[in-house]
Amino acid sequence: MGSPAGGEGLAALGADEVVVGLESVDRPVDLILDTVGGRQLTEAWQLLAPGGDVQSIGWASDEPAVFAPHSLFSLGPARTISAFGDVHEVGPDLSTLLEFVAAGRLSPEVGWRGAWDHVTEAAQTLLDRKIAGKAVLDVAPAAAD
């Protein structure tokens, strides 16, 4: 989490622990969801337990992820990094997420909603980190001839 304010409400959503910055993590972890990339991604890699996985699901950093020589090697079960864009068939995953939403097990937090012709505003709002959650663009049906 980038700030304590960004983590507000996560415990109510089921988080066991909310961490602001990686400096306070004092033990190996099994799974990290990284939305920052860059230096934080390489630091997250160092925190993985054997067999652990870093899921790179976003890239807010302006810097590259540079791994030190030999830092990817470890003894024991393989550690992995997976990128959100690695999926080749998104249908089953989207279906599962929609089932979770319908059952009330997942709440897609929407922080901005507007018409499709405001896509530039939506993108800038996300890039400037002015909202928490997702931006939803409404696409109007095509006009009948």
pLDDT, tens digit (0-9, with 9 covering 90-100), for 27-52? 999 999 888 899 999 999 999 999 99
Question: Residue 98 falls within a domain, yes or no?
Answer: no
User: What local confidence, expressed as pLDDT, does residue 106 receive?
Assistant: 86
Judged on CB neighbours under 10 Å (0-12, 13-18, 19+), 85 is exposed
Distance CA 18, CA 134 (A): 20
Both 81 and 42 in a single domain? yes
pLDDT at 50: 94
Q: What is the pLDDT of residue 15?
A: 81
Q: Helix, strand, or coil here: 12?
A: coil
Give domain status of residue 14, yes or no.
yes
Mean pLDDT for the stretch of residues 45-69: 91
> Greater confidence, 2 or 117?
117
- Tell me the residue range of the domain where 115 lies: 109-145
Instruction: Say yes or no to pLDDT of 78 above 80.
Output: yes
Do 77 and 32 lie in one domain? The reply is: yes
Task: Give the separation between CA 139 and CA 118, rounded to whole angstroms.
Answer: 11
Query: Looking at the structure, do residues 14 and 54 belong to the same domain, yes or no?
Result: yes
User: Do 37 and 76 lie in a common domain?
Assistant: yes
Q: What angle do CA 134, 98, 130 make, to 5 degrees?
A: 5
Compute the distance between CA of residue 46 and CA of residue 23 in angstroms, rounded to an integer: 12
Q: What average pLDDT does the structure give for the chain? A: 86
Count up the domains in the chain and report the number.
2
| pLDDT tens-digit map of 80-114 | 998 876 667 778 888 998 999 999 988 888 999 99
Could you tell me if 7 and 24 are in contact, meaning their C-beta atoms sit under 8 angstroms apart? Answer: no
Residue 56 is assigned to a structural domain of this protein: yes
Q: Please check whether residues 17 and 63 belong to one and the same domain.
A: yes
Q: Strand, helix or coil at 43?
A: helix
